[in-house]
Amino acid sequence: MDVLHGVRMMGPLAPHAAGLAGELARLGFTEMSARGQLGLAAHLSRWLAAAGLGTMALTVPVAEEYLAARRAAGYTAYLTPKALAPLLG
């Protein structure tokens, strides 16, 4: 488990958390924006783990399924493919 910007990252994306944080900084994300992106990545990582999926399974259709599940769960932010662009790019 990694903790970056106050976000705990567990699951299949955890080994990539530091790299994502570094890329967000390189792209000019503020600390608050980076925290939001890392929180989204942590949520996605937990969702992947619960589904029994690893990073290799993270395709566009799987990302769309995740976003649909996120919307259905009542989340009001980070609900579109654009939200995942920093992570998937």
- Give per-residue burial for 55-82: e unless 16+ CB within 10 Å, then b: eeebeeeebeebbeebeeeeeeebeeee
Domain holding 19, by residue range, is 2-88
Number of domains in the chain: 1
Query: Which pLDDT tens digit goes with each residue over 26-59?
Result: 999 998 999 999 999 999 999 999 999 999 999 9
Retrieve residue 41's tokens: 């990545």
Whole-structure pTM value? 0.90
DSSP E strands: which ranges in the chain? 2-4, 7-9
